[in-house]
Amino acid sequence: NTDKLCCYYFFQSNKTLGEFIIENQNAFQYSSGELSRIINSIRLAAKVVSYKVNKAGLVDIVGAAGERNIQGEDQQKLDVYANNIFIQTLINREIVCGIASEENDDFITVEGSDSSHNNKYVVLMDPLDGSSNIDVNVSVGTIFSVYRRITPIGTPVTLEDFLQPGINQVAAGYVIYGTSTMLVYTTGHGVNGFTLNPAIGTFYLSHPNMQFSEDGNIYSINEGNYVHFPQGVKDYIKYCQLEEGDRPYTSRYIGSLVSDIHRNMIKGGIYIYPTSSKAPKGKLRLLYECNPMSFIVEQAGGKASDGFNRIMELQPTELHERVPFFCGSMNMVKKRFVYNIIYIAGCKT
């Protein structure tokens, strides 16, 4: 009874996601309702996917789908399911003119009605991040990014509308399907997190104004690839492990980008996925993973880099472009940058 009472007062005293969107709509420079409807559509799709994720193991939804995506990776059944749900929800609402997904070879031109080409926004997404964790009941997530189209309204979208630098994003967010389902997003005015109450199907504001601490004590990297990393990254890992001051740092790596960054934003830390001899250009996708996460990280007071440049200032050249990725607490990412410069300078002397 005490737990039920605490839960009742929590949800009574917190805004719903719908209320939050309405109250903050005027803060968006293109306030005309479309962006709010996009976030609402993502909210709906997230609830459907959350329900299906929570039934994994009870129904035939785990395991490989028997196909590969454009990157040559085996698709999981939930990958395909989540991709279809998010695409169909956005198309059915007739609020976007184009969609690009990590699971699709090419972008989708939305042509549901005569007015579809008059819509102003395109959505890019990774419908189910961390799909290798599905079968072992570890947290997975959805990542999304919203841009204002740059081709003339009234015409079909082109590749140009999707190949925009991250600084052009008008909204970005992620959904994490874990011990609870949370939707975290930004429209350029801070980062807020909403937790789903599955009993009534409503997201409530549970984490207002989320922030990275300037310093942290967690580093997240797949150290199994250590021998393949550049020397600058190896040196930084040794720095993290050195017993000095507030170090050694704690190593925490889940293998779901959403889960690792979500934890580090709450507790303070750095996420690292560098280039390697196995992935010379990096592994994470600029458009579907790095740009939206960078927008969130920066809005939460953190920093995101490819090791040399600000992620959100990179000019994409293809839909499925990969880049190295370093993000998290400001001072930790800055220190990583210093190690990179020191290593490069040493190579030149």
* Predicted confidence (pLDDT) per residue in 238-262, tens digit: 999 999 988 999 999 999 999 999 9
DSSP conformation class of 22: H
Question: Does 196 or 111 have the greater pLDDT score?
Answer: 196
In this structure, the answer to whether residues 325 and 232 fall within a common structural domain is yes
Is 122 among the domain residues? Answer: yes
Q: Which residues contact 162 (CB under 8 A, 6 or more apart)?
A: 98, 100, 107, 122, 124, 147, 287, 316, 319
Looking at residue 129, its amino acid is: D
Q: Residue 269: which of 227, 317, 326, 329 has the closest Cα?
A: 329
In this structure, the answer to whether residues 201 and 228 fall within a common structural domain is no
194-201 mean pLDDT:
94
In the beta sheet, which residues pair with residue 126?
Answer: 143
In this structure, the answer to whether residues 183 and 59 fall within a common structural domain is yes
Is 249 among the domain residues? Answer: yes
Q: Residue 64: which of 54, 55, 73 has the closest Cα?
A: 73
Is 46 among the domain residues? Answer: yes
Q: CA end-to-end span of the chain, whole Å?
A: 69
Indicate the residue among 179, 207, 235 that finishes a domain. 207
In this structure, the answer to whether residues 12 and 87 fall within a common structural domain is yes
Query: Hey, is 42 helix, strand or coil?
Result: helix
In this structure, the answer to whether residues 106 and 16 fall within a common structural domain is yes
156-180 mean pLDDT:
96
Looking at the chain, the number of H-run helices and the number of E-run strands are 9, 17
In this structure, the answer to whether residues 80 and 179 fall within a common structural domain is yes
Query: Hey, is 206 helix, strand or coil?
Result: strand
One DSSP character per residue, 105-171 reads SS-EE--SSTTGGG--EEEEEEEEETGGGGGGT--EEEEEEEEE--SPTTS---HHHH---GGGEEE
The answer on pLDDT for 7 being more than 60 is no
Looking at residue 30, its amino acid is: Y
In the beta sheet, which residues pair with residue 87?
Answer: none
In this structure, the answer to whether residues 172 and 310 fall within a common structural domain is no
Cα torsion angle, 88, 89, 94, 95, sign: negative
- Rounded-to-integer distance, Cα 341 and Cα 51, Å: 46
pLDDT at residue number 11? 53
The answer on pLDDT for 197 being more than 80 is yes
Is 213 among the domain residues? Answer: no
Indicate the residue among 148, 172, 207 that finishes a domain. 207
pLDDT at residue number 53? 85
Q: What share of the chain is helix, strand, coil (3-state, %, to 5)?
A: 40, 25, 35
In this structure, the answer to whether residues 280 and 157 fall within a common structural domain is no
Query: What's the total number of domains in the chain?
Result: 2
The CATH number of whichever domain residue 167 belongs to comes to 3.30.540.10
High-pLDDT (> 70) share of the chain, %: 85
In this structure, the answer to whether residues 35 and 163 fall within a common structural domain is yes
Residues 158 and 276: beta-carbon distance below 8 Å: no
Reported as a single tens digit per residue, the pLDDT across 11-52 is 555 899 999 988 887 766 555 678 889 999 999 999 999 998
Q: What is the CA radius of gyration of the chain?
A: 20
Reported as a single tens digit per residue, the pLDDT across 110-137 is 986 556 678 999 999 999 998 778 778 7
In this structure, the answer to whether residues 128 and 157 fall within a common structural domain is yes
Is 99 among the domain residues? Answer: yes
Is 212 among the domain residues? Answer: no
> In the structure, what pLDDT confidence band is assigned to residue 349 with cuts at 50, 70 and 90?
very low
In this structure, the answer to whether residues 190 and 227 fall within a common structural domain is no
In this structure, the answer to whether residues 97 and 202 fall within a common structural domain is yes
Domain holding 184, by residue range, is: 2-207
142-164 mean pLDDT:
96
Phi, psi of 173 (to 5 degrees): -170, 180
High-pLDDT (> 90) share of the chain, %: 70
Query: Between vectors from CA 320 to CA 142 and to CA 45, what angle results, nearest 5°?
Result: 25
DSSP conformation class of 220: E
152-161 mean pLDDT:
94
pLDDT at residue number 9? 46
- Rounded-to-integer distance, Cα 287 and Cα 254, Å: 22
Indicate the residue among 147, 172, 207 that finishes a domain. 207
pLDDT at residue number 42? 96
Largest CA distance in the chain: 69
> In the structure, what pLDDT confidence band is assigned to residue 338 with cuts at 50, 70 and 90?
confident
Q: Give the range with max mean pLDDT: 11-15, 55-59, 195-199.
A: 195-199
The CATH number of whichever domain residue 289 belongs to comes to 3.40.190.80
Is 79 among the domain residues? Answer: yes
Is 311 among the domain residues? Answer: yes
